[in-house]
Amino acid sequence: MLKKGITQKFEVGMILARQHRPNGKGRDNMSNKNNLKHKVYVIQPSYRSMDGKLLKRLPLFNFSYNLPILSAVIPSDWEKQFCLEYCDKLDLKSDASVVILTSTGYEVAHAIEIAEHFRSQGCTVIFGAHMDEMSDRLLRKSCDSVFLGYPNHKQMSEILEDATSGKLRPEYDCGMNVDYPFDYSVLKGKGMWFIPMLASIGCKNSCSYCCYTAVSAGHYRLRHISNVMEDVRAAATFRRPLGFLDANLYNNRNYLLMLLEQMIEEKLNLRWGCNFTIDIADDEEVLSQLTRAGCRVMFIGLESLDSKNMLQLNKPYDPARYLNQIRKIRKHGIMVGTYFIMGLDNDDTFSFDDVYKFYQESRVEVPYTHMFVPIPGTPLYNTIRSAGRLHTEAYDNYSTDNAAAFSVPCSVAYFQPAKMTEEELEQNYLNLNARVLTLPKILRRSLKKHFIDTSLVLGMNLEARKKYKAMQAAKLQKLNDKALHTKFHPSSLLT
């Protein structure tokens, strides 16, 4: 269900073993205030939008729990500094000796700029807690070390100690050690419109196009409910909706029921949402408990209305049942956001009309439509690549040759569709968005009894509209080419 363009594989391939540079001379050597040993600066960078400007508002798909996770495992004798660059100004003069960069995938081009800046200042720069193959491959070249997965307390201590003692390794394989309470205090004052949560990692399914398949191949891990609840209590103090960023909160029915029971018992007055698979619609007991526990919106990857496409995606759900299933969910007072992917092998130019009609009939609150992007490391990527239908170079060109360029645009066909031309796919994709994301339709979808629901649905629809408008403008005015040739200048770090 994750829809982040190029995402989600820990590539363990060719690694350029980097020679460790001794830790930054003249930086925070042992004498910091409060007897702190050293200082680490943890940064989640922003990225450049299609006009080349640095984005200063956190978009929905860039919400991440990485700062709370990493903060929780940094040893207490280290001074910590954090930057969520969407909200905070990057401290280019930070006196930290170690910089940790973490990215959700979109920010890779700008993350390279930041890494190179801090390395030129004598800092040790480490990249980690990422999930995508592309940023891993590209950022390795600009960082002293990379850690894969999430380090636990011991592993983080080891990494930081190695960084300060000249023993830093080029790579640390940490696994998925996230079963401890996260440190939500790092998100205070960021003005986030929902608080990112996590109960599980991975997914029970192994859809052929999905980044999770590349990483966890149909397996998942659950965090202890006590740890999740500790996070929920901390996040509840923000008085904002919570967003569980799990790939699929319906991985394990019994676990979900126990978690919901706890939420209901504690009467935290929560409103929250999460990704689920559509089979949850057939589970009346879970739906009732979800409503009681404060679940107000579900995001579901429906992907296609064509059963042949679903077979190719290895996604075990029946499109003929979708309408009825969505009605069952909405009967429980839960709003629905759906994802569709256009350009799959059995899609032709009529498929766009089918999806439009589905949106009209189902009245889903958040209709997200994406163009198919083959994701490296997934079975479907390999199929398309071996058929000679992939235009892969495009991904890297957007990031490496053009450091100031924005992330990979989602309105470009990076492959040869089976039943359309690239141009037909791109144009029909934009046309569908134009029909779905009109202001009157968005307003109709957003009229809800509760103000928070209205603002949530309105915000997400407007964000989708804004992206569509940017893609349309880029296509019409050929801004893509212009942005690609924008030269990076160090002063643009702050603009």
Residue 210 CB, nearest distance to ligand SF4 (Å)? 3
Take residue 359 and report the two structure tokens written for it: 């949106």
Which residue, 52 or 379, has its beta carbon nearer to ligand SF4? 379
Which residue, 137 or 370, has its beta carbon nearer to ligand SF4? 370
Residue 218 CB, nearest distance to ligand SF4 (Å)? 7
Residue 302 CB, nearest distance to ligand SF4 (Å)? 10
Residue 2 CB, nearest distance to ligand SF4 (Å)? 6
Q: Cα–chain-centroid distance for residue 356? A: 26
Tell me the longest C-alpha to C-alpha distance in the chain.
68
Residue 212 CB, nearest distance to ligand SF4 (Å)? 4
- Cα Rg of the chain, angstroms: 22
Which residue, 205 or 369, has its beta carbon nearer to ligand SF4? 205
Which residue, 88 or 283, has its beta carbon nearer to ligand SF4? 283
Which residue, 203 or 293, has its beta carbon nearer to ligand SF4? 203
Which residue, 142 or 277, has its beta carbon nearer to ligand SF4? 277
What 3 state SS string does the chain have? CCCCCCCCCCCCCCCCCCCCCCCCCCCCCCCCHHHCCEEEEEEECCCECCCCCECCCCCHHHCCCHHHHHHHHCCCCEEEEEEECCCCCCCCCCCCCEEEECCCCCCHHHHHHHHHHHHHCCCEEEEECCCCHHHHHHHHCCCCEEEEEECCHHHHHHHHHHHHCCCCCCEEEEEECCCCCCCHHHHCCCCCCCEEECCEEECCCCCCCCHHHHHHCCCEEECCHHHHHHHHHHHHCCCCCEEECCCCCCCCHHHHHHHHHHHHHHCCCCCEEEEECHHHHHCHHHHHHHHHCCEEEEEEEEECCCHHHHHHHCCCCCHHHHHHHHHHHHHCCCEEEEEEEECCCCCCCCHHHHHHHHHHHHCCCEEEEEECCCCCCCHHHHHHHHCCCECCHHHHHHHCCCCCCCCCCCCCCCECCCCCCHHHHHHHHHHHHHHHCCHHHHHHHHCCCCHHHHHHHHHHHHHHHHHHHHHHHHHHHCHHHHHHCCCCCHHHHHC
Which residue, 218 or 490, has its beta carbon nearer to ligand SF4? 218
Residue 479 CB, nearest distance to ligand SF4 (Å)? 31
Residue 37 CB, nearest distance to ligand SF4 (Å)? 40
Residue 323 CB, nearest distance to ligand SF4 (Å)? 19
Residue 279 CB, nearest distance to ligand SF4 (Å)? 10
Interacting residues toward ligand SF4 by CB under 6 A: 1-2, 203, 205-207, 210, 212-213, 247-248, 277, 301, 315
Which residue, 8 or 46, has its beta carbon nearer to ligand SF4? 8
Which residue, 63 or 118, has its beta carbon nearer to ligand SF4? 63
Pick from 126, 300, 69, 121: which is nearest to 203 by CA? 300
Residue 214 CB, nearest distance to ligand SF4 (Å)? 10
Which residue, 9 or 27, has its beta carbon nearer to ligand SF4? 9
